[in-house]
Amino acid sequence: MQLQWLKTFSMAAKTLNFRKTSEQLLMSQPSVTVHIKLLEDFLGVSLFDRNKNSVTLTDAGKLFIQKAENLLLQFEESVQTIHAYKQGFRRTWTIAISPLLAETILPYILRNFMKQHPDLEITIRVEESNLIESLVDSGDVHLGISAIDAHSKHLQSIPIFEEPLLFIVPVDNYDDETGPPINVMDCLRTHTLLTHHHPVFWEDVLVLLREHIPGLRTMKVSQAHITKRFIQDGLGISFLPHSIVRRELLEGRLMKVPFDLFELPKVTTYVLVKKQDDLEKEFIHLLSTHYFG
């Protein structure tokens, strides 16, 4: 049995059309038919029922497709392992991190960590915080960095740092000395508040805000980096963790305004881990000794 027969069968099972299969695999339609026939002869069963204008999987085809997919996956993983070995990697390690934190934490930490472990092939999975706990718990990743505390009794949830929320608005044309003070109430009444780019604090903050601004206009924007861009383009205002906007504030692309209507909550970043081997301990230490604010 040849690997190409399995690839052809897998694609044909998805498209249920030999012409589309040939287009996807950049081969002639007769070649597709030959591959399927050779595979059926090898297995001794029919994998497709052929009608005049379409094909469907037989019961044997439905049974075999998952096996074929597993064989193809195992082959790809084996090839990747050899390629990694050729590049000098001898170990693999996987991190899951939320989009909110990926652009602020990883660039600073990974640079040093990778230098210290040149034989380590690191895979980064950018996942929403509400999914990271299950990935760590199932063993799909070795370590997670999340904006949400873990609830599973099988996991360790380690607070790495706590930081304030800032009230962020577009940059105006005034400097700090000559510009008029920005009124928080007026700002909230006249701008759209961009919300829900953080998984924890928004519901409580919105309740308090609507007590002060009954007609508050809001727009849900699920990603922090999109929220920052929208604010820069004058599409709204928002509350963002300090680490997320630190660079933009330093470069004058965003502006923070003192917020005095009520005390804003702080947000915490957690490391989720099932067990702490040497790599996990070292990575957690690097995180805990770095200031991201």
pLDDT value at position 235?
A: 95
Q: Is the dihedral of CA 132, 272, 114, 105 positive or negative?
A: positive
pLDDT per residue as tens, the chain (293 positions): 788 888 898 998 998 888 888 888 888 988 888 998 988 889 899 999 888 777 899 999 898 998 888 888 887 776 666 665 555 544 778 899 988 777 777 777 888 787 888 778 888 899 988 899 999 999 899 899 999 999 888 899 999 888 999 999 999 765 555 556 788 999 999 999 999 999 999 999 999 999 999 999 999 998 898 999 999 999 999 999 998 898 899 999 999 999 999 999 999 999 999 988 888 898 888 888 775 55
Cα separation of the two ends of the chain? 58
**Are residues 244 and 99 located together in one domain of the fold?**
no
Please give the pLDDT value at position 39.
87
**pLDDT on residue 84:** 52
CA atoms within 13 A on the CB side of 153: 0
Read off the CATH number of the domain in which 130 is found: 3.40.190.10
Residue 183 included in any domain: yes
Nearest to 11 by CA among 228, 86, 293, 29: 29
Beta pairing, strands 143-146 & 91-97: parallel
- Judge whether 9 lies within some domain: yes
In a domain? residue 293: no
- pTM for the model: 0.65
CATH number for the domain including 25?
1.10.10.10
Q: Quote the number of domains for the chain.
A: 3
Answer yes or no: do 173 and 246 share one domain: yes
Domain enclosing residue 282, as ranges: 91-161+268-288
Same domain, 209 and 192: yes
Other Cβ atoms closer than 10 A to 285: 10
